Amino acid sequence: MLLVVAGLFIRSLNRAEHTSLGFEPEHVLNMMIDPHQIGYDEARTKTFYRELERRARALPGVESASLSYTAPMGFPSHAGPIYVEAHPLPSGRQPPVILFNSIDPAFFPTLRVPLLQGRRFSDADTETSRAVAIVNRTMARKLWPNENPLGKRFSFQSAAGPFVEVVGVASDGQYFFVSQDSQPYFYVPLEQNYSSFRSLLIRTSGPPESLMTPIQDVLRTLAPDVPIFDLRTSEQMVHGIEGFLLFRLAASLAAIMGSLGLVLAVMGVYGIVSFAVSGRTQEIGIRMALGAEARDILQLVAREGLGLVMAGLLIGLLAALALTRAMARLLIGISATDPVTYAMVAVLLSAVALAACWIPARRALRVDPMVALRYE
């Protein structure tokens, strides 16, 4: 049972690490700040962020920079109930709540998020222009199945609006936590959805860690008292608590428990078979005196050990089936009843059992028939 759980978590970790993130975290540095914490009003905050982004782009080694409410795989996150225009909800049904992010026009190029249809945001998407949004492929298929989502409108505030118009469709990705299923998600322009809390995302040509000190110097020049809530590379975020860390911890813990279980199983099989052989010393001597071959003695000893293992395999696999159903939501890209994992565990235990039986069996073959007949 422990080996099955370990195998599922290890295979799930491997699948998770090869899951498409929907963006490229390499060479990206993320810094989270909020000028409101030191009393900046909206006008001063906007001026501060424009100057911060301009100076960040001027730093040596910076390819692009972007501002957004949050970074992928980071905290915090926006979410709102979705009301599709001209599609009233049935009586008693609640609107779906979908995560979203407020971004500037440079967000998609900086993180290299693929755009599948339509256009990205531009500097023309301001407070005075029509409200727009970019949805991911899953949201487009969920809200407008078999339809072109471009030009469709929805609201994330109320059924009466205000409505935003879909101008683009982005690829699916991982947003808040690594998930097996594609989650609906959408983006709105920062200029149309003000927030004093923002993430500065910087794509670098070299190691992003080399920009940590320069970007802090820029920030201290503009606003010495602004606190930095987080300063990490996107790869650190992907491999942190929001990303693969929990999967690695689960896989490591399960592997340790599985290894201990395997050691106990080997010791148990070896001990029981050794005890059984010592109790049948006289019988083995008689069989050898009557002409039993080495192969017959080996089969006799191995049959006893393998019988124990087969019974344990059956009980353990049934228990594993019951246990893994409860942890199905913790697995990525693999079923809780994955036949490959169960087969590998069964083969491994059988091979280990044969090895554990081999030493007692070999010792039985070295028994002198005359000594065995005089035994006790």
Each domain of the chain, given as residue ranges in start order, spans 23-232, 245-373
Quote the pLDDT of residue 350: 79
Quote the pLDDT of residue 191: 93
**Structure tokens of 245?**
């860390």
Quote the pLDDT of residue 56: 95
User: Which of 204, 250, 235, 211 lies closest to 73, judged by CA?
Assistant: 235
Do residues 132 and 125 touch, judged by C-beta distance below 8 A?
Answer: yes
Torsion of CA 144, 145, 147, 148, to 10 degrees: 60
Would you call 39 exposed, middle or buried from its count of C-beta atoms within 10 A (0-12, 13-18, 19+)? exposed
d(CA 83, CA 349): 55
Quote the pLDDT of residue 47: 94
Query: Each residue's pLDDT tens digit in the chain (376 positions)?
Result: 888 888 888 888 777 777 778 899 999 999 999 999 999 999 999 999 999 999 999 999 999 999 999 998 887 778 889 999 988 887 778 899 999 999 999 999 999 999 999 999 999 999 999 999 999 999 999 999 989 999 999 999 888 889 999 999 999 988 877 776 788 999 999 999 999 999 999 999 999 999 999 999 999 999 999 999 889 999 888 887 777 777 788 788 888 888 888 888 778 777 877 777 766 666 777 777 777 777 777 777 777 777 777 888 888 888 888 887 777 767 777 788 888 888 888 888 878 777 777 777 777 666 666 665 665 5
Would you call 127 exposed, middle or buried from its count of C-beta atoms within 10 A (0-12, 13-18, 19+)? exposed
**Structure tokens of 373?**
């007949």
Residue 17 CA from chain centroid, whole number? 7
Model-level pTM? 0.75
User: Which of 21, 69, 91 lies closest to 237, judged by CA?
Assistant: 21
Cβ atoms within 10 Å of 108's Cβ, excluding its own: 20
d(CA 279, CA 292): 18
Do residues 25 and 223 touch, judged by C-beta distance below 8 A?
Answer: no
d(CA 50, CA 54): 6
Q: Alpha carbon of 170 to those of 80, 134, 167, 177, 260: distances in Å?
A: 19, 7, 10, 18, 46
Q: Alpha carbon of 318 to those of 1, 64, 260: distances in Å?
A: 8, 54, 20
Amino acid at 20: S
**Structure tokens of 157?**
């505030």
Element (H, E) at 343: helix 339-365
**Structure tokens of 325?**
């159903």
Q: Which residue has the tokens 């293992």?
A: 309
Cross-strand partners of 199: 32, 68
Element (H, E) at 185: strand 185-189
Terminal Cα-to-Cα distance of the chain (whole angstroms): 41
The angle at the Cα of 302, spanning 298 to 305, to the nearest 5 degrees, equals: 155
